[in-house]
Amino acid sequence: MFPLLLGVFRPPSAAVANIIIIMKILNLTQNYLEQNIISQAEAIDRDPVQLKQALQDLGKLKILALKVPRSLGGSGLSAQDYAHFQILVARYSGALVFLQTQHQSAASMLASCKNKILQDQYLPYMKTGKKLVGVGFSHLRRPGQPMVKAVEVDRGYLISGEVPWITGFDFFDSFIIGATLPDGKELYAMLPFENQIQSSGGSIEFSAPLELIAMTATNTVTAKLNNWLLAKDLVLNIKPKDSIHQDSRKNVIQNGFFALGCAYAALDILQQVYDKKQLAFIKQSWQSLNQEVIDCERAMFDVLDSNETVYESKLKLRGQAINLAQRCSQAAVIVSSGAANYLNNSAGRVYREALLFSVSGQTIDVMEMTLNHLLAT
């Protein structure tokens, strides 16, 4: 019928189709950020209403379950592709990248758990933001007495303790908590993200949003749990003792991509100021820092998927990315002069974001490496 066409046309290979999908997601995201976020970033940093709108917009673009396999309702991005997305969003808004990443992490945790019922309840609705989920488990990294304990009882688990950090109150409907069992194993389970008292007397209560110097619109809160009765079918996983430390080592490079995006955001400010002030040393500073960020980015992508690259090399790159976010954002402040001190100034905002990205997902090793880089520069 169409001999010529049949002869020439071949359906794209899976790899090519994949590249097309990723390019589409990144283009879609960049267009959205250019049109809606770039001029609103200062407001989004402080106003939960505007941040909520931005999160809903990402839902409309169907990009809120990027790492979840397509078979489970997500976009099936690889770690490399997701890292490109993180850098991109962090370049436009720290608050937006930080808020949405909690939900994307929760989606990934659900996708990799064995609880099929929970997966069916949540995963098909997470890409569009119809169901939004946060996380609260960083306290599992703290040594000493567990901050949140779970004890098995007939009808499930009783959970008590304090969660020091949960981002997304009034954005997310639920969150995944991490709690420690008496034998040290780590239990991860779905909880409501609103104050509740159970008929059994169990309770969960959240603080008011914490007043933060950066990304205060993300409504980060603490939670108190008192004998909260958790049904067994809300458990995602029970992981071996100290899994959190192994996961932190495995993912040491991932958190660094926020810092890289932040460094680029600062470099954009340098560029804008140069366009206005035309001072040659600003351009030279931009060129020199930009080259460092590009080199660091390239090195991070080179080792991201590698099991052979030793942990210490990845840790060093994480420290380098944090250091670049700090130095670039400091440069943005310097060239913006006194105006950087206005609450509404983008250099001030990016500088404060760099502070947050310096400690988010921090481990003792990351803390030490960050200090080493500071002392060396």
Ligand X SMILES: Cc1cc2nc3c(=O)[nH]c(=O)nc-3n(C[C@H](O)[C@H](O)[C@H](O)COP(=O)(O)OP(=O)(O)OC[C@H]3O[C@@H](n4cnc5c(N)ncnc54)[C@H](O)[C@@H]3O)c2cc1C
Rounded distance between C-alpha atoms, residue 97 and residue 261, angstroms: 10
Cβ nearer to ligand X, comparing 289 with 369: 369
Cβ at position 29, least distance to ligand X in Å: 22
- Chain centroid to CA 62: 17
Does the footprint of ligand X cover residue 142 (CB under 6 A)? yes
Cβ nearer to ligand X, comparing 82 with 175: 175
Rounded distance between C-alpha atoms, residue 106 and residue 174, angstroms: 10
Cβ nearer to ligand X, comparing 285 with 329: 329
- Chain centroid to CA 299: 20
Single out the residue of 29, 102, 119, 237 in contact with ligand X (rule: CB under 6 A): 102
Cβ nearer to ligand X, comparing 100 with 360: 360
Number of residues that bind ligand X (CB under 6 A): 22
Cβ at position 220, least distance to ligand X in Å: 4
> What b/e sequence results for 11-44 when a residue is b if at least 16 CB atoms lie within 10 Å of its CB, and e otherwise?
eeeeeeeeeeebeebbeebeebbeebbeebbbbb
Cβ at position 243, least distance to ligand X in Å: 14
Rounded distance between C-alpha atoms, residue 193 and residue 169, angstroms: 7
Pure H helices in the chain: 3-8, 14-32, 41-46, 48-60, 79-92, 94-111, 116-126, 243-250, 256-277, 280-304, 311-336, 346-359, 364-376
Cβ at position 31, least distance to ligand X in Å: 28
CA distances, 91 to each of 10, 32, 274, 289, 349 (Å): 38, 13, 18, 15, 12
Site for ligand X in 19-78 (CB under 6 A): none
Single out the residue of 85, 122, 137, 258 in contact with ligand X (rule: CB under 6 A): 137
> Binding string to ligand X for residues 328 to 367, with x set by CB under 6 A, is what?
----------------------------x--xxxxxx---
CB under 6 A: which stretch of 4-12, 133-141, 191-199, 339-347 binds ligand X?
133-141
Rounded distance between C-alpha atoms, residue 345 and residue 285, angstroms: 21
Rounded distance between C-alpha atoms, residue 150 and residue 4, angstroms: 67
Cβ nearer to ligand X, comparing 104 with 323: 104
At residue 262, the 3 state secondary structure works out as helix
Token pair, residue 116, equals: 């099929």
Single out the residue of 212, 259, 293, 317 in contact with ligand X (rule: CB under 6 A): 212
Cβ nearer to ligand X, comparing 24 with 142: 142
Single out the residue of 138, 323, 329, 346 in contact with ligand X (rule: CB under 6 A): 138
Cβ at position 338, least distance to ligand X in Å: 27
Contact residues: ligand X, CB under 6 A: 102, 134-138, 141-143, 164-167, 212, 220, 356, 359-364
